[in-house]
Structure 1
Amino acid sequence: MDQPVRRDPIPASESVDKSRVLEIRPLRSLAPVFPSQPNASFSTPVGGHFFCVPPYGPFPAEVTPFYPFFGSIGSQRRPEQNPQTPVGVPNQAAGSGYSNPVIAAVPIASFRTPPPTAQVNGDRSHGRSQSQSGFAEEECSDSLNQGAEFLSSFSMHTTDLDDTSKSKRAKNKSQRKARGSQETSVNFSDADVDLIFNNILSSYNLMEFSMVRRADGDRKSVGYILLIFDLLRRKLSQFEDTKEPTAGTIRRPDLKASTVLTNKGIRTNVKKRVGDVSGVEVGDIFYFRMEMNLVGLHFPCMAGIDYIGLKISQEEEAAAVSIVSSGGYEDNVEDGDGDVLIYSGQGGNIFRKDKEIMDQKLERGNLALENSFRRGNEIRVIRGIKDVATLNGKIYVYDGLYKIQESWVDKGKSGCNVFKYKLVRSPGQPEAFMTWKSVQQWKNGITSRNGIILPDLTSGVESIPVSVVNDVDDVKGPAHFTYVSSLKYSQHVNSVESSVGCTCRNGCLPGNPNCPCIKKNGGYLPCIAHGVLVNPKSLSHECGSSCLCPPNCRNRVSQGGLKVHLEVFRTKDKGWGLRSWDPIRAGAFICEYAGEVIDISKLELGVETEDDYVFDATRTYQPEDDLPCAFNEAMKIPFPLIITAKDIGNVARFMNHSCSPNVFWHPVLRENKEGCDLHIAFYAIKHIPPMMELTYNYGSVLPDKAMRKNNCLCGSSKCRGYFY
């Protein structure tokens, strides 16, 4: 195979004096000043000394501990004095935790304790920005992901996160100057968050954490941790939606949720390691940097380079373990077929408009990468890809293990020296980032999708086309049916409750106490931003035909048709299946089950249809090890519902069964003046990468019904071997 052409040629050795750069001392050689006794007073550093505070108390009056350890200052003690220190709370003496082993010391003035009147908790009150659709954007700017001012994964305040809006940055800066060291208060007390957290654990049967408290995780523990994190984040987002936004601040329920889990020891792979991380697979995606931290894939919440200290003889040197490449640096480029990455080093004040841009130095992450190049150790590479659903959000794709093949210093676009590293992907790994690139090329018309036999199965019924693909055999397509986008009732079912519609002409807004539709949902909208369902266990009440709100109302999530680009594809042994070109975040709406409602009177007579496209909402579900009960128990519905999609239906009719599904169904009730209609909506259980098959659990029929067993070919390690 020909060597790919590198865009940035390596300069001749005489053009760069590397020895001059190598003389720079790494920051680990600077000794931080700590008190000799726990209660010793902190003296002001003199000369050129730096001052650093350990992540445990007690703390002097003018210093606050690093995030996320400023939740309960008074109760914190040194780790060796607290026998109940949970897994995941750092112990610097043991050389573990979240901080990089090479710790940059910080001047004392940068960490100040708020005045006694300010409330200090594990998070700060943040405002929310609204997209055009009215959804609150949940973003984490990655523009400072390699900034030198962040000394470790948690050494930052949430109110100091980068805001990509120039006007907001200026406003935030002036507000910080005006209020001095005072911090904004949080929306929730620690007791409130603990109550929410405990309710989630009890509701979803997640009380046992022995499997996630181990130092090394597995696929099950990683999945549970990410599930708990996202359920808590969704609930906090739902609460914050009802609060008035605070000017100049950004709400970050993801940081609050990760702080709770960290402080309770609900994390895994707590020790940094070179190579693969137990329970994390190539191709896994993450919508929040804190998700990668909780499962041990990449510890820093902002820095792009993660590294550890490896002892060589009597010396210790830094070695890189993972990097995040998300286009934050102007010189990051891809090369060749996507298995090669030209990665720029960190530092140089590239993103600091208030400071002079300068040459990068061989220290911290850059030094770790240089050492890894010399040692030849593998590095985990996470690719950050633009999330089109948010203004500045990223989706992080774990692309597997790479090795540094070359390193050099080059002139960047700014004119200053930039460290460059050529990383090559190790062979024999599943495709991940290349799949994303292929899908993007299909969307942009650069290349055509192989095997397409029908460009749009919906014939224009859906706003997003659904292609039919067969690259397996000679079958020309699925049997004929009429495509419809929703459920067809022969008559409305009489509503057992009042069916008064809302008058929210601009859409139902969170926290509106006068909206009858919000009242039916317990005082909250059932979905937060991006159509993400908050509580899978309760019936959702959506706005009906008698409501005056517009079609894009936030309480009509399942009524707007498809939100992702789906394709029906031919499987090797299961007939037709369904998958998405787009990534799908956990809890997001995918589609509803369209078809004809079988007459309820026929159900009472025991009449059952025998076609293969039946959805029965009365089925029961066996306990599954891979899922909490929220996704595998029978949902309480107001009346029996059975749907047939044999003659009319939509893409949901092609979704196959799995004993370890990634999709679950959820009942949605839409009321109107004539009565009510029950619909079945499908949502993602977890983050789903592009081109992964979408599956759900078909469930089991009631004992008094005789149904044939079908051989299950889902391929799951938990496969029961059959389904009904």
Structure 2
Amino acid sequence: MEQGTGSNANPLSVDKTRVLDVKPLRCLSPVFPSQSEMSSLSTPQPSPFVCVPPTGPFPSGVSPIFPFVAPNETSQQTTSGVPLNSGRSTRPGRSAGADGLAVEDDGVHVNDVEDSSTGKKKGRPKKPKRSQQAAEFPRVEVDVEPLLNQLLTSFKLVELDQVKKADGDKEVVARILLVFDLFRRRMAQIDESRDTRPDLKASNMLRTKGIRTNQTKRIGNVPGVEVGDIFFFRMELCIVGLHAPTMSGIDYVSPKLTRDEEPLAVSIVSAGGYDDDGGDGDLLVYTGQGGVQRKDGKMFDQKLEGGNLALEKSVHRANEVRVIRGVKDVANPTGKIYIYDGLYKVQESWTEKSKSECNVFKYKLVRVPGQPEAFKVWKSIQQWKDGVASRVGVILPDLTSGAERQPVCLVNDVDDEKGPAYFTYIPTLKYSKPFIMPRPSPGCHCLDGCQSGDSNCPCIQRNEGFLPYSSLGVLMSYKTLIRECFSACSCPPDCRNRISQGGPKVRLEVFKTKNRGWGLRSLDPIRGGGFICEYAGEVIDVGNDKDDNYTFDATRIYEPLEAVHDYNDESRKVPFPLIISAKNGGNIARFMNHSCSPNVYWKLVVRESNNEAYFHIAFFAIRHIPPMQELTYDYGINKADRRRKQCLCGSLNCRRYFH
């Protein structure tokens, strides 16, 4: 463990007196290991990881890790929460966002429609009927206005001044996107049984309150948005000013805003709706809008108007155009991930016959040199996965020796060090004595898995009426403590209330950093609220963690930034003296470095057995994390430890030291 980047999120309260009913969502189910592999009482015993004796220097010592505890609560933990998503399959012709709810296929440039914020668009497919499974459970009615107001207040967005609305920065963009995602996820959890669009509702409510930034259309980069940033919803592009239209593939400034009264393109979204040629990452052949994409089956030639005309004028003016590329979301096959690939210039244009024998416009865009790589990184990763390109610096193809369902590569392309110091790889916790509960909890009888809205499910009751995860495995709960299904439950291993028991769902790798020893990153994109891994090791007694650089101490204090606490959550008042040592045996979490602006946070997960409780530390993404970005969390403060270590996270909010 040493140090990375990010921002934090926290829990909310809901007036449960206004809750009326709820229904579940037909969903895609993650795949987990067998029931025997998930027992809280047993720990898989993989072959130990033995590293080649390192030839380079070892990482310097780091203070123990700590969770998110509220100020002045030395032994009372308060975890900041980031919830999300809920998934379902959609019919052909539609795609789904990160929560799996059906949305218009963003790849199809429905360019005659500039704004779908009202949800009333010509040719829009009818919403599918609610599933019979959803009809079995009642709905929930929750007034979400106070929820949003609390988020806006907590993240200091209530009085967002006009300057920040016109021209944002990295901090403002991050706060707006975080509030949007937190709010959208909570609505997805509440309205899971309905065929609603929480992304649309969230963006509309934010817009109504004036919560958006970079409202003025501009040519070139958008303040606060970096090349390589990823988005799971078109609405996210809109509220930060990266691409204004919610459906159109071409955004442009009108003649009224240009000096010579010509429209100019400012951004395009290439998401597969037309026959675009993605090229090698520096070149894009983009197909114009309209004509062949009529939903009534009629086929017409494209016209040189609107966005097509703007792109044509951009050829002659040689202005820069922002390019957002859409790729398939492997975790949610009906959804897309949008990658900001930087600035391009429209080099030339022409017309050609489409497959339907209609005339279409083609535009050749060339990437402006000198920018960070974005889409190219995705292409390289895919080539590694497909085995068509070799990876530089690979030491071991699987550091876990098969202990995890997903192999974890060990990579060093920085120096000659051959690996970290010897340790035994174990994927979960080892308990010598679990926590004793006053009475045993009943297990569920959900043979098909726990279903949202089932008021008879004891596991849902223990989580105060809602499943904590979406069917895509994304955290939606604001509670400090997550209560998962356990050995007494009849639900299968792929039950959505066992998310942390199946190990990492994304491809992680341990890599050598330039100045912070070994670190952890992912080859796959991770959506906000997505599960990453748990912290594995041996549970030890308080006071036995001296001089151990690989320790997670749940009694440490973290002072959250603008925390959104759920003050109705009684579990936050319960002390959890959980200390884990991963010095001799642990998993990939032991390599996660510290950052004062992290992109990962942790929550307590409890799995029971009879009258015994087994607490686990589970890590989740605070925000959307692109591939190859280091995963970091805040180690917090140990006031009893006077030793200070220099912080090398490099973030704008760096505290310079950590304990």
Separation in 2, partners of 1:159, 1:228: 30
1:506-585 correspondence to structure 2 within 5 Å: 506-585=448-527
What's the offset of the Cα at 1:699?
0.5
Q: Any stretches of 5+ residues in structure 2 without a counterpart?
A: 1-21, 31-85, 89-99, 131-138
Shift of 1:274: 1.0
Corresponding residue for residue 639 of structure 1: 576
- For residues 628-667 of structure 1, the aligned pairs below 5 Å read 628=563, 636-667=573-604
For residue 609 of structure 1, report the CA deviation from its aligned partner.
Answer: 2.6
Report what 1:350 is aligned to: 293
- Contact 2:24-2:453 within 8 A present in 1 as well: no
Contact 1:536 1:666 in 2 (8 A): no
Structure 1 letter corresponding to 2:261: E
1:130 lines up with 2:27 in the alignment: yes
Q: Name the structure 2 match of 1:28.
A: none
Asked if the contact 2:551–2:582 (Cα under 8 Å) also holds between the matched residues in 1, the reply is yes
Distance in 2, Cα, partners of 1:376 & 1:654: 46
* C-alpha distance in structure 2 between counterparts of 1:667 and 1:613, whole Å: 18
Question: Residues 350-373 of structure 1: CA distance to partner in whole angstroms, max 9, x if unpaired?
Answer: 352x33222111011101100111
AA at the equivalent of 1:716: S
Whether contact under 8 Å (1:637, 1:667) holds in the other structure is no
Change (3 A) 1:388 1:126: farther
With structure 1 as the length reference, what TM-score do the two structures score?
0.73
Q: What's the CA shift string for 1:70-92, capped at 9, x where partnerless?
A: xxxxxxxxxxxxxxxxxxxxxxx
Letter in 1 for 2:641: A
Identity %: 56
Alignment correspondent of 2:191 = 240
Q: Is the 8 A contact 2:381 2:523 kept in 1?
A: yes
* Matched positions, count: 559
CA distance in 2, matches of 1:584, 1:307: 31
Matched, 1:265 2:248: no
Q: Quick one: distance in 2 between partners of 1:530 and 1:426? A: 37
What is the CA-CA distance between 1:384 and the residue it aligns to?
A: 0.2
Kindly indicate whether residue 562 of structure 2 is the aligned counterpart of residue 619 of structure 1. no
Name 2:310's counterpart in structure 1.
368
Q: How big is each residue's C-alpha offset from its partner over 1:631-677, in whole Å with a ceiling of 9 and x where there is no partner?
A: 9xx96554300000011111000000001100001111112204101
Question: Alpha-carbon deviations, 1:9-61, whole Å to 9, x = none?
Answer: xxxxxxxxxxxxxxxxxxxxxxxxxxxxxxxxxxxxxxxxxxxxxxxxxxxxx
Does 1:210 pair with 2:155? no
1:579, 1:503 → 2: CA distance?
Answer: 38
**What SS class does the counterpart of residue 507 from structure 1 fall into?**
coil
Amino acid at match of 1:131: L
Other structure's SS at 2:265 match: strand
Q: 1:308 to 1:135 in 2, by over 3 A?
A: closer
Return 5+ residue gaps in structure 1 as ranges.
1-124, 173-186
Cα distance in structure 2, aligned partners of 1:235 and 1:423: 39
Residue deviations 1:316-374 (CA, integer Å, cap 9, x gap): 32111100001110x20023x3101000001113352x332221110111011001111
Give, in whole Å, the separation in 2 of the partners of 1:126 and 1:513.
Answer: 10
CA displacement, residues 151-182 of structure 1 (integer Å, 9 cap, x when unaligned): 4454651796458xxxx88x99xxxxxxxxxx
Q: In 2, distance between residues paired with 1:126 and 1:690? A: 34
Aligned position for 1:112: none
AA partner of residue 644 (structure 1): S
Q: If the length of structure 2 is used for normalisation, what is the TM-score?
A: 0.80
- 1:691 pairs with 2:628: yes
Trace 1:290-305 onto structure 2 (pairs within 5 A).
Answer: 290-305=235-250
Contact 1:127 1:251 survives alignment (8 Å): no
The one of the two structures with greater contact order (alpha-carbon pairs below 8 A, sep at least 6) is 2
Alignment map for 1:316-465 (pairs within 5 Å): 316-329=261-274, 331-335=275-279, 337-350=280-293, 352=295, 354-465=296-407
- Structure 1 residues 310 and 350, CA gap change in structure 2 (3 angstroms): closer
Q: Distance in 1 between matches of 2:257 and 2:212?
A: 30
1:501 shift after superposition: 1.6
SS at structure 1 position matched to 2:103: coil
For the residue of structure 2 that corresponds to 1:320, the secondary structure is strand
TM-aligned CA deviation for residue 623 of structure 1: 4.6
Structure 2 letter corresponding to 1:393? G
Which piece of structure 1 moves more, 497-506 or 295-304? 497-506
**Bigger shift: residues 296-305 or 133-142:** 133-142
1:629 CA drift (Å): 5.6
CA contact (8 A) 1:143 1:351 kept: no
- Structure ID, larger Rg: 1
What is the letter of the counterpart of residue 214 of structure 1? Answer: K
Q: Choose which of 105, 117, 121 in structure 2 pairs with 1:142.
A: 105
Matched AA of 2:493: P
Q: Structure 1 residue 491: deviation in Å?
A: 1.9
- What is the alpha-carbon distance in structure 1 between the residues aligned to residue 584 and residue 337 of structure 2? 38
**CA displacement at 1:694 relative to structure 2:** 0.2
Change (3 A) 1:391 1:294: same
CA distance in 2, matches of 1:358, 1:228: 42
* Kept after mapping to 2: 8 A contact 1:376/1:403: yes
Task: Give yes or no for contact 1:126–1:251 (8 Å, CA) kept in 2.
Answer: no
Distance 2:250 2:415 in 1: 46
Q: Distance in 2 between matches of 1:159 and 1:192?
A: 30
Which letter does structure 1 place at the counterpart of 2:105?
D
Q: Which structure 2 residues correspond to residues 93-242 of structure 1 after superposition, within 5 A?
A: 129-133=26-30, 135-136=87-88, 137-142=100-105, 145-152=108-115, 154=117, 156-157=119-120, 161-162=124-125, 192-201=143-152, 204=154, 206=156, 208-210=158-160, 214-241=165-192
Question: Does 2:637 match 1:708?
Answer: no
